[in-house]
Structures are given as structure tokens and as C-alpha cells.
């Protein structure tokens, strides 16, 4: 009798403790300020938060000053509240022609100049297979054009093609070549799609001097353009421009309270960039404000900074607002490859990113159920009267399309918090990457529930007495064991 009374008492105490956390967030949350920050980030003044546009500076200085005012601290090794990233913006040439034997190639049709300088003249061709180290060995490339396949055997995803292309450009440049031509024959990516996507100004990570090498894709599904069969090419590429762009991730941290657990970090992240200015819609609006994608997520992390700086949890909190997510997850990839704290001390990444919503009784967590701590997100949502559900549209591949994947690939459990949606349907497409994605058509009562549930989710993870882990058999379980050494 006595024992069960004691148990009952403990249950009541722990139950009210849990409720107390929710009530504390409720009490301290400043909804008015959050909405005004949301409105500013999605305003026309910021011109759609395109990393290549000058207005991006308004966005990152605003976010950095908010983190500073909140009381979050700069991470040692960062430039104040920034992690600087060298980007370059490479624009298509005014005109691009290539003639090999009797075949003509033209920019935007069956050829794309992806990077490097303008180049005119007749050059010898040298075949280098897949362009690996051994393919270049012993070959004379001085003043010549290296010809290769795109990608590598079994490495033909779009991101493989770009990263391997960068490596090959570097080798070709070092060998003294004037250009690299790759035969585009990747089965998974239709040429037309690649051509539509890449025949415009493209933001990439600056690779240093190898970025000067003229780098070309030609459509060649039958592998006919071979440097060991054909000997010479005539190139006429004019009006190619490249410029450097100063990229900035906004980063900060809050020290945890537990003497041991404070050496572990919970990374709270959101991308703050969007797609900028584009084709006008039916109303003539050409500014893509990105309220849902992802001003609402940016404000969620800023709110979390304010709360946790005053109410730190046991584990330390890392705060990161990524740039250039819309350009291929570039900002988060840069941090994952150049981390400001050791990656094996980051135990969880709660990312937040959004396309839109069609059900305000839900919070959709992309990847929910894949790691052991996810029940805490379900609890947090429930306490705010909404239900956390997992991704209803796995066919969209959303897990692997946002910044969280750069951390999952390193082994870090990394779900993405999203506004509630039951299908990636017309009600989502109505705003997703559209000029009409505004704050004035956003349910602001729902926004506040969403923001508060995000803070409580992060708090529960950061205070949990266990380390979140991937569930057995998950595709990221193995790399996670390598990262954390168990």
C-alpha cells in the first residue's frame, strides 16, 4: 500500500514536471516578436533570400543579431556568428559551340558549359576513361582537352556527378589541360532535365584555381565522343562569366548544464535561404518570399535560441541557419565537411524545413520512427495538442532532399520537423516554391503551436538520459557505428 502510494506520488511529480516544461515554454514564448521576425524574413525587402543576391546580407545580419541578443555564444573557430563559405556563381556563356569531326554541339541543346573560362581554338583530345588518378597517369595533356565519362561506375547520382566532376577538373588542370569534356550518359538523369536545370547561373562551392578550367558536358548516350577515336575538337565559347559569392552559415551555441552531457551537442538547424526572384505569377508577383520554405523554420531556431539561452538543458545546443539549401544543400554540406565541433559529439540533429501544410492538427516529422529518441517528439507535439506523424509521401524522397541528410550520411540521427501535411498534394504545391508563399496566407495560431512544439521537442532530446540511436537495420546505422565508435 505504502509502496504503491509512493509510486503514485513519484508519477504525479514526474508528470507535473513534464507539464511544467510545457507551461514554462508557454509562459516565456514571445509570439508577437516571433511573428514580426517571421514577417520580416519573408518580406519583399529581402528579395527571396537568394544567396547570390546582395539582400542576403539583410537576412544573415538579422539572424546573427537575434542569436547574439538572445545570449547564444559564438563557436570558437567561427567568424563571430558566421561560418564563411567561398561560393562562385557560374553563368552560362553568351555562346558555346563545339565541333568534333562532323558533329556539332551547341550550348543549351546538346552541350552545357558548366564552369571555367571562355575558350576558343582547335585542340587535341585525350581520352581519360572515368578520369580517375590512374586514367591520367603517363598521359600528355598539356594544352589539350581531356575527354571522360561522367561519374564513375556505380556512382551516377546527381551529387556524384558534380563531386566527381570537380575532382576530374582538378586532375585535368594539374596535368596542364585546357578543358574537360564529359560524355553525359547517366541513365538516372534525363539529359533534358539536366539541361533545363543547368543552363542558367549556378552557385557552387569554389574549388580554387581548378574552377578556371573549361568544363563541359555533351549529350552522348552512345559513348560516341571518344578521345581515343576522334583526335581534334574546335571550341568557340564566348562570354562566360564567373564571380565569387560570400556564403554565410549563421552559427552559435549554448552551453549545457550537466557536467558530462554538456560535451554532447543537439544541433538545431534550418536553412534560411530561398529561391530569390523569378518568373512572375498571375498576380505579377516575382518575389519568392519563402514564408513556409523556410522563414518559419528559421524563426523556430531563433525562438529556440532565445528560450535555451535563458533555460539551458543538460546537453549543449548548437544553432545553425544554413545558406544555399536550395542550390543543392551547399551550406549544410560545408558544415558537415568542415565541422566547427567534432561530429562525433553531435548526438542528434533536429532539422526544420517546410514546403507547406494542409492539416493544422499535425506536425509531420520526416524520418519519424527511424531513431530511438523520436517518441519524445511525439510526446512534445501531443502536449501542444497536435499529433506528430511520419512522412506521408516517401515517394518524394524528402528525407534525402533537405539539410538533415548531410548529417544522417555521417551517422547522426537527423529527422526534419515539418508543418503538418497528409499528402504532397495541390494544397502544398499551391505555395511550394511559388511567389505566393507569404505570411499573410499563413495560419499564425498554428505557427505558434508549431514553434513551441519545436522547442519542447528539442528540450526533451537535450535532457534525455539516453543518446538517440538509429533503429537496427536503418541504412544509416552502420556509418553511425563508425562515427560514434560503438
Q: Work out how close the CB of 322 gets to Zn ion at its nearest, in angstroms, rounded to a whole number.
A: 10
Task: Select 98 or 291, whichever has its Cβ closest to Zn ion.
Answer: 291
Task: Tell whether residue 37 is a contact of Zn ion (CB under 5 A).
Answer: no
Query: C-beta of 273: minimal distance to Zn ion in Å?
Result: 9
Choices 251-259, 260-268, 279-287, 348-356; region in contact with Zn ion by CB under 5 A: 348-356
DSSP strands (E only) in 7-155: 82-91, 95-100, 103-106, 111-115, 119-127, 145-149
Q: How many residues bind Zn ion (CB under 5 A)?
A: 3
Region from 81-89, 251-259, 351-359, 459-467 binding Zn ion, contact rule CB under 5 A: 351-359
Q: Closest approach of Cβ 293 to Zn ion, in Å?
A: 4
Q: Residues 6 or more apart from 81 whose CB is under 8 A from it?
A: 64, 67, 68, 74, 250, 251, 252
Q: How many CB atoms lie within 10 A of CB 412?
A: 26
For residue 300, which of 99, 68, 38 has the smallest C-alpha distance? Answer: 38
| Contact window for Zn ion (CB under 5 A) among 88-96, 169-177, 287-295, 455-463 | 287-295
398-457 binders of Zn ion (CB under 5 A): none
Asked if 169 is part of the footprint of Zn ion (rule: CB under 5 A), the reply reads: no
For residues 135 and 391, which CB has a smaller minimum distance to Zn ion in the complex? 391
Which residues sit opposite 106 in a β-bridge?
Answer: 97
Which residue, 182 or 293, is less far from Zn ion as judged by CB?
Answer: 293
Our finding on whether 353 is near Zn ion (CB under 5 A) is: yes
Query: Using CA of residue 438, residue 441, residue 445, residue 446, what is the dihedral sign?
Result: negative
- DSSP letters of 387-428? EEEE-S-GGG-GGGGSTHHHHHTTT----EEEE--SSS-HHH
Are 245 and 400 a contacting pair, CB within 8 Å? Answer: no
Least gap, CB of 325 to Zn ion (angstroms): 6
Nearer to Zn ion, 135 or 293 (CB): 293
Stretch that binds Zn ion, among 14-22, 347-355, 403-411, 446-454 (CB under 5 A): 347-355
Which of 93, 97, 96, 98 minimizes the C-alpha distance to 233? Answer: 98
**Spatial separation of the C-alpha atoms in residues 377 and 303, rounded to whole Å:** 17
Sheet holding 416-419, edge to edge: 202-205, 82-91, 241-254, 316-322, 265-271, 346-352, 416-419, 362-366, 387-390
Is 66 near Zn ion (CB under 5 A)?
A: no
- Which 8-state DSSP code applies to residue 277? B
Q: At what angle do helices 31-41 and 444-463 cross, to 10 degrees?
A: 110
Of 18-26, 173-181, 291-299, 339-347: span binding Zn ion (CB under 5 A): 291-299
Query: Quick one: 166 or 278, whose CB is closer to Zn ion?
Result: 278
Q: Does 294 bind Zn ion (CB under 5 A)?
A: yes
Task: Report if residue 293 touches Zn ion, rule: CB under 5 A.
Answer: yes
CB of 409 to Zn ion, least distance (A): 18
CB of 16 to Zn ion, least distance (A): 38
Nearer residue to Zn ion within complex by CB, 195 or 404: 404
Minimum CB distance to Zn ion, residue 419 (Å)? 11
Distance in Å, CB of 274 to Zn ion, minimum: 8
Read off the C-alpha cell for 149: 565519362
Stretch of 51-59, 71-79, 289-297, 430-438 lying at the interface with Zn ion (CB under 5 A): 289-297
- Least Å distance, CB 251 to Zn ion, is 18
Cell of 11: 508519477
Q: Which stretch binds Zn ion (CB under 5 A): 280-288, 330-338, 353-361, 390-398?
A: 353-361
Name which of 233 and 405 has its Cβ closer to Zn ion: 405
Nearest one of 249, 174, 158, 164 to 208, comparing CA atoms: 174
Q: Nearest approach, Cβ of 249 to Zn ion (angstroms)? A: 15
Least distance (Å) between residue 243 CB and Zn ion: 25
- Sequence length of the chain is 486
Q: DSSP label at 149? A: E
Cβ proximity to Zn ion: between 115 and 391 the closer is 391
Task: Find out whether 44 and 286 touch, Cβ atoms under 8 Å.
Answer: no
Q: Distance between the two ends of the chain, CA-based, in angstroms?
A: 43
Stretch that binds Zn ion, among 345-353, 412-420, 424-432, 473-481 (CB under 5 A): 345-353
Q: Which residues bind Zn ion (CB under 5 A)?
A: 293-294, 353
Amino acid at each position: 500500500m505504502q509502496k504503491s502510494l509512493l509510486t503514485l506520488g513519484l508519477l504525479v511529480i514526474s508528470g507535473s514536471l513534464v507539464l511544467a516544461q510545457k507551461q514554462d515554454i508557454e509562459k516565456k514564448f514571445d509570439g508577437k516578436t516571433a511573428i514580426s521576425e517571421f514577417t520580416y524574413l519573408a518580406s519583399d525587402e529581402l528579395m527571396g533570400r537568394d544567396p547570390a543576391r546582395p539582400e542576403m546580407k539583410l537576412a544573415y545580419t538579422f539572424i546573427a543579431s537575434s542569436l547574439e541578443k538572445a545570449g547564444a555564444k559564438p563557436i570558437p573557430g567561427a567568424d563571430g556568428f558566421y561560418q564563411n563559405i567561398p561560393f562562385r556563381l557560374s553563368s552560362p556563356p553568351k555562346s558555346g559551340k563545339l565541333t568534333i569531326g562532323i558533329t556539332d554541339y551547341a550550348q543549351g541543346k546538346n552541350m552545357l558549359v558548366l564552369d571555367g573560362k571562355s575558350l576558343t581554338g582547335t585542340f587535341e583530345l585525350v581520352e581519360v576513361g572515368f578520369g580517375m588518378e590512374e586514367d591520367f597517369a603517363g598521359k600528355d595533356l598539356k594544352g589539350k582537352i581531356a575527354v571522360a565519362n561522367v561519374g564513375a561506375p556505380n556512382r551516377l547520382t546527381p551529387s556524384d556527378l558534380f563531386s566527381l566532376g570537380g575532382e576530374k577538373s582538378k586532375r585535368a588542370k594539374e596535368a596542364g589541360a585546357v578543358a574537360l569534356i564529359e560524355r553525359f550518359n547517366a541513365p538516372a538523369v534525363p539529359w533534358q532535365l539536366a539541361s533545363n536545370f543547368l543552363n542558367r547561373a549556378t552557385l557552387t562551392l569554389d574549388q580554387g584555381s581548378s574552377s578556371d578550367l573549361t568544363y563541359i558536358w555533351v549529350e552522348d548516350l552512345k559513348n560516341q565522343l571518344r578521345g581515343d577515336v576522334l583526335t581534334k575538337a574546335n571550341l568557340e565559347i564566348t562570354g562566360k562569366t564567373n564571380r565569387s559569392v560570400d556564403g554565410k552559415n549563421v552559427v552559435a551555441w549554448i552551453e549545457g548544464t550537466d557536467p558530462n552531457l554538456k560535451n554532447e551537442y543537439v544541433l538545431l538547424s534550418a536553412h534560411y535561404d530561398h529561391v530569390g526572384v523569378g518568373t512572375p505569377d498571375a498576380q505579377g508577383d516575382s518575389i519568392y518570399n519563402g514564408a513556409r520554405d523556410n522563414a518559419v523554420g528559421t524563426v523556430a531556431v531563433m525562438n529556440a535560441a532565445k528560450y535555451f539561452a535563458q533555460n539551458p538543458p543538460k546537453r549543449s545546443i548548437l544553432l545553425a541557419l544554413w545558406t544555399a539549401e536550395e542550390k543543392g544543400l551547399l551550406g549544410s554540406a560545408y558544415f558537415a565537411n568542415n565541422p566547427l565541433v567534432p561530429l562525433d559529439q553531435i548526438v542528434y540533429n533536429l532539422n526544420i524545413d517546410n514546403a507547406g501544410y494542409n492539416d493544422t492538427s499535425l506536425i509531420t516529422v520526416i524520418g519519424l520512427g527511424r531513431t530511438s529518441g523520436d517518441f519524445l517528439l511525439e510526446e512534445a507535439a501531443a502536449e501542444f495538442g497536435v499529433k506528430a506523424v511520419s512522412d506521408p509521401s516517401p515517394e518524394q524522397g524528402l528525407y534525402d532532399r533537405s539539410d538533415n541528410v548531410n548529417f544522417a550520411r555521417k551517422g547522426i540521427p537527423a529527422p526534419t520537423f515539418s508543418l503538418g501535411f497528409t499528402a504532397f498534394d495541390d494544397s502544398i504545391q499551391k505555395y511550394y516554391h511559388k511567389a505566393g508563399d507569404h505570411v499573410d496566407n499563413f495560419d499564425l495560431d498554428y505557427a505558434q503551436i508549431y514553434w513551441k512544439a519545436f522547442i519542447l521537442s528539442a528540450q526533451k532530446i537535450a535532457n534525455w538520459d539516453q543518446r538517440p540511436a538509429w533503429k537496427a537495420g536503418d541504412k544509416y546505422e552502420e556509418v553511425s557505428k563508425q562515427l560514434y565508435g560503438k
